[in-house]
Amino acid sequence: MSTETTLLDRLRELVESTEPGPVVLEGVRPEDIGDALERMEPEEGIVVLAKLEDELAAESLIHASTETTRSLVEELPDSQLARYLDVLAMDDALDLREEIGDERYERLLKMIPHEDAGEIQRLLSYPEDSVARLMTEHFFRISPSATMAQVLEEMRRSPEEKYETINDIYVLSDDGHLLGVFSLRKGLRAAQDIPVSELMNKDVVTASVLESDEEAARRMARYGLYALPVLDERGRMVGLFTGDDAQDILEDAETEDVLMMGAVSGAADSYMSLSVWQLAQRRLPWLGALFIAETLTGAVMRHYGTGDQDLRIAPLMFFVPLIIGAGGNCGAQVTTTLTRALAVGDVQVGDWLRVLRREVATAFIVGGTLGLLGFLRAWLGWKSPMDLSLVVAVSLPVVVLWATSIGSLLPLAAKRLGIDPAVMSAPFITTFVDATGLVIYFEIALKFLHR
């Protein structure tokens, strides 16, 4: 039995249990609970969250997909959500704003300690994609005259939640300007009476509050840093951009690049967090553009197959590029999306039925749209006979449905067999769908046009 299935069973047993919370789950991480919540009914998820400790429940909610989180927060009472905002790191608390909604979020901020609410409000004042939106104000700062003995004493006296990370010690002037930084490891090896001004490195890599979060994340990766000090316009250190947030930003950026290569637009949201309509919206713009491009190929064939330069090309062949192009492009979109979702853990092999249902529903929307456009192009644009126009109108949705089904199942089957899903790449799917799509097109034509 897989770890995921075992955890799901444990959580469902927790739902049925009459034991009051909070329940301690040994060896269970919030990331895994977040994944499990996506595979449970919302009513079950509400019970699970209520029985967990607030910190674990809040972090589990953060790691669930957007769609799952939104469905759960709609049912959670304000008092419970306010407790979650209070125990979460500020950047994670800010992430919940989109799922909660602006009006309710403002109401919840009035229910948490003034200091925490003030920090969230300060982060909200920065541009949406800036590094300041993701920074934490909880970093270890010290004056240049302090000794290592004082630094260690401060660490011992401070509560655990006061600092998000203490890998590096930041030396600040009285007015908050960053003077230097040194690692805790270096400090531990130094004499206890040495002032930190003699330990610090003055050449510090920093980020500006208004800087793009992706740009800051790439700088952090380039220099191999655990965290990046964030400075305001006056050069004062106001926060810290940490490695976990940088990793998420880079992963999202890479995901968007991969999806764009597969002609899928939109942000790097979890596959399971997107509705069928959202999936269709992300694919249709590129499919529409490619659809227009493929009609040009058909126009060339039509030009040389009619008129003075007649090559006796059957009118049925004019639409071949349109049919196989639409099928191949749809298959490539699905394969690219699911290969990436499998790579980052958004989708598991056991989700194959859920994936197929979502993709079939999406194919009906996409295929129906392309079928209507194909019919109008054939009948009104090229003045094709009604029966041939109907062949195009019927073939496009069927081929899109076929390509989408194959494109969704093959990567999952490859994963199940221990084969890298990337083997089922867009070119492979396109080639396969081109051949089978032609069979579908000609069989439909035989039914409509056979004399």
Domain boundary, last residue among 124, 157, 192: 124
pLDDT band at 257 (very low <50, low <70, confident <90, very high): low
Residue 244 has pLDDT above 50, yes or no: yes
Location of structure tokens 């790449």: 425
Please tell me the distance from the alpha carbon of residue 340 to that of residue 104, in angstroms, as a whole number: 34
Tell me how many degrees the CA angle 393-396-399 measures, rounded to the nearest 5.
145
On whether residue 410 sits in a domain, the answer given is yes
Q: Which residue type does 289 have?
A: A
The domain that holds 299 is classified in CATH as 1.10.357.20
CA–CA distance, 233 with 312 (Å, rounded to integer) = 71
Rounded to the nearest 5°, which phi and psi values hold at 137? -90, 0
46, 170: one domain: no
Decide: 334 and 326 in contact? Cβ < 8 Å: no
User: Are 328 and 438 within one domain?
Assistant: yes
Residues of the chain with pLDDT > 90, as a percent, come to 12
Domain containing 393 equals: 262-449
Higher pLDDT, 378 or 397: 397
**Residue 248, in any domain of the structure:** no
Here the tokens at position 141 are: 């700062």
Cβ atoms < 10 Å from Cβ of 180: 17
Q: Do 268 and 314 fall within a single domain?
A: yes
Q: 314 and 232 share a domain?
A: no
**Res. 262: pLDDT tops 80:** no
Question: Of 124, 151, 186, which residue sits at a domain end?
Answer: 124
Q: How many CA atoms lie within 13 A of 312 on its CB side?
A: 0
pLDDT tens digits, residue range 299-315? 555 554 455 544 455 77
Q: 384 and 343, same structural domain?
A: yes
Q: So what's the pLDDT on residue 208? A: 93
Q: 422-426 — which CB contacts under 8 Å span 24+ positions? A: 422/339, 422/343, 424/335, 424/339, 425/335, 425/339, 426/261, 426/262, 426/331, 426/332, 426/335, 426/336
Flag whether pLDDT at 2 surpasses 50: no
For residue 182, what are the β-bridge partners? 169
Same structural domain, 339 and 204: no
Task: Identify whether residues 358 and 435 lie together within a single domain.
Answer: yes
Q: What's the pLDDT at 287? A: 61
pLDDT at 256: 63
Whole-angstrom Cα distance, residue 405 to residue 399?
Answer: 10
∠ CA 37-68-415, rounded to 5°: 65
pLDDT at 293: 54
Over range 163-173, report the average pLDDT: 85
Position 34 in a domain? yes
User: What is the sign of the dihedral through the CA atoms of 19, 20, 25 and 31?
Assistant: positive
Residues 102 and 145 in one domain: no
Number of domains in the chain: 3
List pLDDT tens digits, range 25-45. Answer: 777 888 888 888 888 888 888
- List strand residue ranges (DSSP E) for 158-197, in order: 165-172, 178-183
Residue 378, exposed/middle/buried by CB under 10 A (0-12, 13-18, 19+)? buried
